[in-house]
């Protein structure tokens, strides 16, 4: 039996997607104009984007496949996720290179770094795929274990793991310790573990999740403001210095902002069509937008930071959608930029379920 249509998931996916594009637009402006307290503060507020995608992926699996895993589960996701990951990894190898120094050897090195060392923006695909495997292996155990205990344990492990790499410097007696610290701090699944368990239990027990969101609605608003204040304060104290989503404090911040966005969606009778549209293109936008931002950053235009950010955000968003739309007209397109589900089908499905 198909479960009830979850309109809120389209809102939260689109918000996370837009947050990521906006974050990278601001980051690009920092490269051109230099960092400011306001730009850093805005970046910190937008860092929930990538962790939220991990939550969403497991929310969907927890809601649809908490009891049984369908035949071809991983095969389907290899086609839909890993093949575009490889395709875009190759494309980014050319995009990010200096054309004056391009060579077959250097391109091969960049491709290797992108695909196996996760050096480009599509790294999140590998993170999510790790959780697909974990879902297959552990979903039956998650069904038997106490959700409150598992959520608490995964939160402690996740925060503790990131805090170690955030605040403990690389050990000088370990060869290539700085490189090990960089990779170990965010590429293994344990660095994102809480989002996995949070998404699984929220999807599996969605009615209870909605009840808790409504019951504690004030907590989410206060929690977002308080946790964001702590995140920004720690950043300006250089604790740690890094500005990315692989920070221990971002786990807490994201844990508050996800229910808050869900609550906003629950209060809407209908999610605006714009958010369905962005949601359906979100994977392609995630993969493509950084290409345009890289090129915009190389071009000298706009002496004003605000105009630059606005232009880069909207144009990279529109171009990502346009390229994805065109490529998906061909059978091979989805293997390059990801598959785009028909916007009209989503809207009709929403109306049918609501009737």
DSSP 3: P
Q: How far apart are CA 199 and CA 206, in angstroms?
A: 10
Q: How far apart are CA 113 and CA 116, in angstroms?
A: 6
Give the model confidence (pLDDT) of 96-109 as tens digits.
Answer: 887 667 778 888 99
Specify whether the backbone of 128 is left (phi greater than 0), alpha (psi in -120 to 50) or beta. alpha
* Domain boundaries, given as residue ranges, for the chain: 8-159+188-354
Q: What is the pLDDT of residue 355?
A: 40
Measure the CA angle with vertex 123, ends 24 and 46; round to 5°: 30
> Whole-prediction pTM value?
0.92
DSSP 5: P
Both tokens of 333, joined, read 């397109």
DSSP 332: T
Q: How far apart are CA 151 and CA 189, in angstroms?
A: 15
Q: What is the pLDDT of residue 341?
A: 75
Q: What is the largest CA-CA distance in the chain?
A: 65
Q: How far apart are CA 198 and CA 51, in angstroms?
A: 11
Q: What is the pLDDT of residue 3?
A: 60
pLDDT in tens, the chain (355 residues): 456 678 999 999 999 999 999 999 999 999 999 999 999 999 999 999 999 999 999 999 999 999 889 999 999 999 999 999 999 999 999 998 876 677 788 889 999 999 998 999 999 999 999 999 999 999 999 999 999 999 999 999 999 999 999 999 998 888 888 888 888 888 999 999 999 999 999 999 999 999 999 999 999 999 999 999 999 999 999 998 888 999 999 999 999 999 999 999 999 989 999 999 999 999 999 999 999 999 999 887 788 999 999 999 999 999 999 999 999 999 999 999 999 876 445 455 555 544 4
Measure the CA angle with vertex 20, ends 102 and 271; round to 5°: 140
């Amino acid at each position: 039996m198909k479960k009830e249509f979850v309109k809120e998931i389209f809102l939260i996916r689109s918000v996370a997607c837009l947050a990521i594009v906006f974050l990278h637009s601001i980051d690009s402006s920092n490269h051109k104009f230099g960092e400011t307290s306001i730009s850093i503060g805005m970046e910190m507020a937008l860092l929930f984007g990538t962790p939220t995608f991990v939550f969403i992926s497991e929310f969907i699996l927890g809601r649809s496949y908490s009891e049984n895993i369908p035949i071809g589960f991983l095969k389907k996701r290899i086609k839909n996720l890993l093949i575009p990951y490889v395709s875009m990894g190759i494309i980014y190898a050319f995009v990010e290179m200096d054309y004056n120094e391009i060579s077959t050897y250097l391109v091969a090195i960049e491709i290797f770094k992108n695909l196996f060392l996760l050096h480009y923006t599509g790294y999140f695909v590998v993170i999510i795929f790790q959780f697909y495997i974990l879902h297959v292996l552990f979903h039956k155990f998650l069904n038997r274990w106490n959700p409150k205990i598992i959520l608490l344990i995964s939160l402690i492990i996740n925060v503790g793991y990131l805090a170690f790499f955030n605040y403990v410097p690389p050990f000088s007696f370990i060869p290539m310790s700085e490189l090990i610290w960089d990779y170990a701090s965010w590429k293994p699944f344990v660095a994102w573990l809480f989002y996995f368990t949070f998404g699984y239990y929220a999807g599996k027990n969605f009615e209870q999740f909605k009840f808790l969101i409504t019951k504690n609605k004030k907590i989410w608003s206060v929690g977002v403001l308080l946790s964001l204040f702590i995140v920004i304060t720690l950043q300006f104290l250089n604790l740690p210095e890094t500005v990315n989503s692989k920070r221990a404090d971002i786990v807490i911040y994201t844990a508050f902002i996800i229910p808050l966005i869900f609550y906003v969606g629950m209060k809407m009778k209908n999610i605006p069509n714009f958010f369905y549209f962005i949601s359906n293109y979100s994977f392609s936008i995630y993969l493509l937008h950084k290409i345009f931002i890289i090129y915009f950053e190389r071009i000298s235009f706009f002496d004003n930071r605000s105009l630059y950010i606005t232009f880069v955000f909207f144009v990279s968003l529109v171009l990502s959608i346009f390229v994805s739309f065109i490529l998906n007209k061909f059978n091979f397109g989805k293997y390059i930029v990801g598959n785009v589900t028909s916007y009209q089908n989503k809207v009709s499905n929403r109306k049918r379920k609501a009737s």
